[in-house]
Amino acid sequence: MNPRRALLGTALGVAGLAGAVYGLERSALARIRARPDPDAGADFALPPGALHRFPSHDGGTIATRTVGTGPPIVLSHGVTLSNRTWVKQFESLAAAGFQVVAFDHRGHGESETGDTGHSLDNLAADVRTVIDALDLTDAVLVGHSMGGIAVQAYAARHAAHAAAHVNGLVLLSTLAKVRVSELRGVRTALETLVGAGPDFGRLLRHPDLGFLAARVGFGTEPQPSHVELTRQMIGECARDTNRGAPRALFGLDLTPELASITLPTLVVGGTADLLTPPAESRRISQLIPGARLELFPGAGHMLMLERAKELDELIVGFAREVGAHPRRSA
């Protein structure tokens, strides 16, 4: 999820969300849960695959899961989420002939935070760690939200390494600048909330309150099972990560570095994304030379769930365009 919304969500949980669920939002909750849902009853369990834990540069661990064979597509999830974000992509991209590699960011899922904690430089370094540890070449990197920030930072700050190992980037529902952090007073207040306020994950662990909070990440037609999966992931995120990972992105401004990215880039967003609005996708696509922009009408922040088929077709098509050709069986 976007760091701004993750932090503001803490304030919402304190200031009024608890009351809203018992008012008008209670009926909204019932309407969403009553929606037809083709994935109703799914447990969204990750498929079996090759599991590894690699040491980070600062004493932590980065957990990866690999499914399928062929040219690698590396999936980088958003803040307070985990590899379960990509449950649909593991199946569809592997079926299309690709090696699907997803990793839990430090402090998320099965990965452990290193001695130097959360930072933009560490996000970039951890992407490089995964590529080196698995000896990946001709890879396509797909980064969602904070994971997209990690991919941008890696491509800009490890440019020679990226040129040697990566064929293209897909930046999904992400941003390059956290504008709210430019407002000093708001920044101070949010840092105070994150540092000393209640655990946002605790709010997400409440079935109703958490469901409403997670619904913010979706567009006009959310499926209840997808909202619930998102609620579970955020609720499972460790308290220290819930605080530290979003706070590390305060003051984020990668915009001066984007012009240095020379890899083919596809930028994807949803027109109903409240967390990383379409203007953020447009900004990135304008600043990275030759980048292509695709926007899904009515879609929100969690495109890998709510528009999985269309998104996966885009990723596969882009991967083939940049030279990642899957092997064909005889």
30-45 pLDDT, tens per residue?
777 777 788 888 889 9
- Whether residue 67 is predicted with pLDDT greater than 90 in this model: the reply is yes
Place of tokens 């999936």: 75
What kind and span of H or E run contains 37? none
Tell me the CATH number for domain 3-321: 3.40.50.1820
Q: What confidence score (pLDDT) does residue 125 get?
A: 98
Q: What confidence score (pLDDT) does residue 42 get?
A: 87
For residues 78-107, give the mean pLDDT.
Answer: 97
Q: What confidence score (pLDDT) does residue 202 get?
A: 65
pLDDT level of residue 28 (50, 70, 90 thresholds):
low
What kind and span of H or E run contains 303? helix 303-306
User: Which tens digit of pLDDT belongs to each residue from 1-27?
Assistant: 554 454 444 444 444 444 444 454 666
Q: What confidence score (pLDDT) does residue 11 get?
A: 42
Q: What confidence score (pLDDT) does residue 1 get?
A: 54
Q: Which residue has the higher pLDDT, 214 or 95?
A: 95
Secondary structure (3-state) at 15: helix
The share of the chain scoring above pLDDT 90, in percent, equals 68
Q: Which of 254, 273, 214 is nearest to 80 (CA)?
A: 214
Half-sphere exposure of 52 (CA within 13 A, CB side): 16
For residues 57-66, give the mean pLDDT.
Answer: 97
Q: Where are the chain's structural domains?
A: 3-321
The share of the chain scoring above pLDDT 70, in percent, equals 81
pLDDT level of residue 189 (50, 70, 90 thresholds):
very low
Residue 166 CA to residue 126 CA, distance in Å, equals 15
- Whether residue 129 is predicted with pLDDT greater than 90 in this model: the reply is yes
User: Which tens digit of pLDDT belongs to each residue from 298-312?
Assistant: 999 999 999 999 999
**What's this model's pTM, rounded to 2 decimal places?**
0.87
- Whether residue 238 is predicted with pLDDT greater than 60 in this model: the reply is yes
How big is the chain, counted in residues?
330
Sheet containing strand 99-103, edge to edge, reads: 50-55, 61-67, 99-103, 72-76, 139-144, 166-172, 265-270, 292-296
